[in-house]
Structure 1
Amino acid sequence: MNPASASSDFLALLNANQGILHRVCRLYCSDADDRQDLYQEVVLQLWRAFPGYRPTAKISTWLYRIALNVAISNLRQRTRRPAPERLGDVPPEVAPPPESGPDADDLADLYRAIGRLSDVEKAFILLYLEERTYEEMADILGITQNNVRVKMHRVQDKLRHLLTQPV
């Protein structure tokens, strides 16, 4: 594959699947600047991995796998060396709802509850909200379908519990 063709193929892939990448970044970063930084890091890692992509795998599986691995690694790095508080930052607990409208409060509550999940649990919820099948989840996460079912049930129970707890 020539470099110009690879570049245009990659850009077409990226443009067609930006939603996946933005959703992963939104789930793992509450700050807009952090989300943008994570998005750029995900794109860089996708570009590096692109020559090794084999069309036998679903493109969404490949994208999710890389994006989730980068997001989880990024989150772990950020928690090891926490950034100093900047003036004007709004803590995630009181951040404004991501959208306006009648369901905005429910959506904000959901994001706060998801924010309290572990890194891996967030990945399960993201894939569930993306309406991925258990087979796709197993492929993306590198575990068996049965393990996906068990873990998904536990994560849903935990999320229900978090949503009913007062903040």
Structure 2
Amino acid sequence: MTQELEHQFVTELEQNQNIVHKVCSLYTNNRDAHNDLFQEITIQLWKAYPKFRGDSKFSTWMYRVALNTAITLYRKSKKQPKTQDFDSVVYRIQSEEYDPTEQQQINLMYAAVKQLGDIDKALVFLYLEDKNYKEIAETLGISEVNARVKMNRIKTKLKAILNP
């Protein structure tokens, strides 16, 4: 890879790294797994970058690579034994900005989303990122109509999970 291409990649990654962190948060339960997944996604982005043609925005391409990498690793990790999430044991220091009720609702939503299938998780993630259905469809490689239908079904599933 040329130095110019390397510089472009690093610049794009720095500007869009929050995408990778959000994907990692969705597919992992602890800081070590998050860091491992972040590293793996970065490696996959690096390997694939010379083939990036610019047909879509870099961020859309990045979502696709990140989600595909996370889903692949998530499926492999299902075969491994479960461990205790240390982050859930750590106590938070309350501050004026910290709203425990809001945090509890966010935690419940994340727990509900984590019960969904791989593609459904990715779709919810992109929806919560305020991506329109066209961008969601492009990122996931499905039709726009399919993205809308899936999202409506997912909303019903999430309501059932959150309000048994």
Fold shared by both chains (TM-score > 0.5): yes
- CA apart distance, 1:97: 9.0
Match of 1:135 in 2: 134
CA distance in 2, matches of 1:52, 1:121: 27
1:90 maps onto 2:85 in alignment: yes
Aligned partner of 2:40 in structure 1 is 41
C-alpha deviations, 1:124-153, integer Å up to 9, x for none?
A: 110000010100011011111111110010
Any conservation in 2 of the 1:97–1:105 contact (CA below 8 Å)? no
Paired residues in the alignment total 159
Per the alignment, residue 160 of structure 2 pairs with: 161
| Matched position secondary structure for 2:53 | coil
Shift of 1:90: 3.2
After TM superposition, the structure 1 stretch with the greater mean CA deviation from structure 2, 150-159 or 94-103, is: 94-103
**Cα–Cα, structure 1 residues 101 and 119, in superposed 2: closer, same or farther, change >3 Å?**
same
CA offsets, 1:27-74, max 9 Å, x none? 000111011000000000000000000122111210011000000000
Q: What is the match of residue 115 of structure 2? A: 116
Amino acid aligned to 1:141: L
CA RMSD in angstroms comes to: 2.1
Deviation, structure 1 residue 95? 5.7
Alignment of 1:35-74 (within 5 A): 35-74=34-73
- CA shift, 1:163, in A, is 1.2
Q: Are the equivalent residues in 2 in contact too, given 1:28–1:71 (CA < 8 A)?
A: yes
Query: Residues 84 and 159 (structure 1 numbering): CA distance in 2 closer, same or farther, change over 3 Å?
Result: closer
* TM superposition outliers: structure 1 runs of 4+ over 6 Å: 96-99
CA shift, 1:91, in A, is 7.3
Q: Which runs of 5+ in 2 are unaligned?
A: none
> Runs of 5+ in structure 1 lacking a partner?
none
Give the structure-1-normalised TM-score.
0.88
What TM-score do you get using the length of structure 2 for normalisation? 0.89
Contact 1:96 1:108 in 2 (8 A): no
The percent identity for this pair of structures is 38
Closer, same or farther in 2 for the Cα pair 1:95/1:129, shift >3 Å? farther
